[in-house]
Amino acid sequence: MVGHSKARTRTAPRAVTVMFGKPTKMQRFRYSVLYDKKPFPDAVMLYYDNGMYAILSEGEHHYGTYVAQGGFGDPRYTVSFISLPSSDWEGISVLHTLEFDSAAGTFTQQLINPRDPNVPKQSGTFTIADNPVADPTRLSWEHARDLGQ
């Protein structure tokens, strides 16, 4: 049996282009129970009709995809978010599952982070409005924090 080896050349990583859809809703979060590694009490979540999202806070600005169980007008609904790899999460993806209680204006959040397996639940309050931002890649926290107020 004769082994064959082929010379392998390294190529630069390839990029995947993902476009934001049409803006739908925006939520403003105020965390009362925080993840100690992300101690940012205020955040803005921007939703797009193709399942993309952008989240901004004082210390975060990243993108990802989401799937909702229920709708924004329902008394209770759940949204699962998978972040695209970013410096916010040390170059990996993480999963957030948020459960919303519309009547109370509250949410709970569970983070699954492969590098921190014991993240406690977080919680807080939220408001919802129409998303006015067509291109979140041009948005900074300084501008996002005033949206919907």
Give the pLDDT confidence score for residue 9 in this predicted structure: 67
**Separation CA 51–CA 122 (nearest Å):** 23
Residues 125, 110: contact at Cβ < 8 Å?
no
Residue with tokens 């569970």: 110
Give the pLDDT confidence score for residue 70 in this predicted structure: 98
Residues 31, 123: contact at Cβ < 8 Å?
yes
Give the confidence band of 49 by pLDDT, cuts at 50, 70, 90. very high
Give the pLDDT confidence score for residue 29 in this predicted structure: 97
**Separation CA 116–CA 90 (nearest Å):** 12
pLDDT exceeds cutoff 70 at 73: yes
Instruction: Express each pLDDT in 23-47 by its tens digit.
Output: 999 999 999 999 999 899 999 999 9
Give the pLDDT confidence score for residue 15 in this predicted structure: 85
State which amino acid sits at residue 79. Answer: V
In Å, how far are 16, 35, 96, 112, 114 from 117, measured between CA atoms? 28, 12, 13, 7, 6
Dihedral (C-alpha) 135, 35, 91, 27: value to the nearest 10 degrees?
A: -10
Instruction: Please name each of the domains of the chain with its CATH number.
Output: 23-146 (2.40.128.20)
Give the confidence band of 12 by pLDDT, cuts at 50, 70, 90. confident
pTM over 0.85: yes
**Separation CA 129–CA 149 (nearest Å):** 10
Instruction: Express each pLDDT in 118-128 by its tens digit.
Output: 999 999 999 99
**Separation CA 79–CA 14 (nearest Å):** 30
**Separation CA 147–CA 50 (nearest Å):** 21
Give the confidence band of 105 by pLDDT, cuts at 50, 70, 90. very high
Give the confidence band of 8 by pLDDT, cuts at 50, 70, 90. low
pLDDT exceeds cutoff 80 at 7: no
